[in-house]
Amino acid sequence: MSKSIGRAFSLLAVLVVAGSLVAADVWKDKDYKQWDEKDATKIMNDSPWAKNVVVGQYWTAGSQPGTSSGGQATAPSANMPLASFHVRWISSVTMHRAIARDFVLARGGTQDKADEFANETPDTYDLVVLGADMYPFGTLDTGDAVQQLDQKTFLESKEAKLHVAAVKAEVTRGTDNKTVSAVTFHFPKKNPDGSPLFGPGMKGVDFVCTTGKAEIKAHFDFTKMIGQNGLDL
């Protein structure tokens, strides 16, 4: 059940990218079952758990897609068209609740299934990357291609001397079952010695994903990722 809700969210969110004019911090002001569609959309697209990243659309010049192309990440030039990617910290309680609420309000899902998903606690920190054009990710149709993407995707904090790669990537495909529509990256919650991945006092981390010649980088500020029960990751 939860996978179907998450998959539906990934596909829908490719199309829903605009923020909503609703009260700030609605995730703290109201119980999630009182959120309306605008509230859920704001959290999924315009909150501390959601980032929009713009990169140069280098592939319009004929570059090869995703992991099949080499080279360094390419910064946008003055004449290069731009493409947007959306990075969301979806393991958080707040984001789970927004996805669950959207499942009920926008797609007619049952409240029981939504509640089950809303109350899940993932074993990993999960971040999803999605966009209207996922060309830089290529087809990701082999285990080697996915593993290479894992190795080039990480969370880091130079201040805390943290650099941890994704342990797993899950690919969501479009209605044709071929086109990549979203990729979810899973990161460990603990270090090899059993200590928490994020130590006391950490103020945030950068998410970095390099695929093809695109670098998708987003900063997540822990001081703002505060849900109804405190820090929410």
Full residue range of the structural domain in which residue 65 is found: 2-231
Residue 46: per-residue pLDDT: 92
What residues of the chain score a pLDDT lower than 70? Answer: 1-24, 61-78
Query: Rounded to the nearest 5°, which phi and psi values hold at 138?
Result: 65, -150
Domain count, the chain: 1
Residue 190: per-residue pLDDT: 95
Closest CA to 85 of 52, 48, 119, 124: 52
Residue 40: per-residue pLDDT: 93
Residue with tokens 């029981």: 112
